[in-house]
Structure formats: C-alpha cells, structure tokens
Amino acid sequence: MKKSGVLNSQISKVLADLGHTDTIVIADAGLPVPNHVAKIDLALKPGTPSFQEVVRVVSEDMVVEKIILASEIKKANSSQNEFLTRHFHQEIEYVEHEEFKKMTEKAKVIIRTGEITPYSNCILQAGVIF
C-alpha cells in the first residue's frame, strides 16, 4: 500500500505515466467526456468530492506547468477562479468554454468530481521535475 500521495490507483498510474506537455482534466459533474478519453469517476453525491479537494490532492502529486480554464469562470464562478489563482503560481490561460471542451479531447484522462458549480473544470498540463 502507498504511504502518501494519491491513493486512488487509477489516478496514481495516470500521473506516473504523464510526459511533458501531456494533459489531464479535473472536471465538475456535468462536463461532457469525449468517448475516446478515459474517465475516472470520483463523484459520490452532489458536492462530494469537491473540485477544490481533488485539485489540491492531484496537484500535490503532479508537476503542473500550465493551467487552462474556461474564461466564463471569471464571471460565472469567481470563487473557483480565485481559488485556482491562489492555489497555482503558474500563469493561467483562459479560453472560451467551447474551445475548452475541444481541448479535453486530447487529455489522457478526465477526473470527474461531484462538484455542481458552473465551470469548475481545469486542464492541467504536465511539466518536468528537472
């Protein structure tokens, strides 16, 4: 059994397999998942686990060099936007939500949370440890 970090075996494997510039998505309960993209569904009930909780845990175990958000989050969910800007020290790129959904088609995985607030989704691009 792992001693620390992400205990979910599917998420742990995805993170270990990431290469530079590969992407993963942490999503709210409503984000559509493209048919060919793997989904790890953590949703138990509305709000559980929360988007913020999953972002915190995953980002502790992942080298993140870039964060991509839907620009609509700024007005529709400013509290999530503020959380993400405080949590990550990297520059955040904003794209229109339709473009965001197209970008998810290239993700290695979409991790679905129980979050039920609008635009609580992020694309995390992997960096390197050197």
Eight-class DSSP state of 62: S
Looking at residue 101, what DSSP letter applies? Answer: H
Contact 58, 97 (CB under 8 A): no
Binding-site residue ranges for substrate: 28, 97, 119-121
**3-state class of 113 per DSSP?**
coil
Answer yes or no: 20 catalytic. yes
What is the number of other CB atoms lying within 10 angstroms of the CB of residue 15? Answer: 21
Instruction: Catalogue the active-site residues.
Output: 20
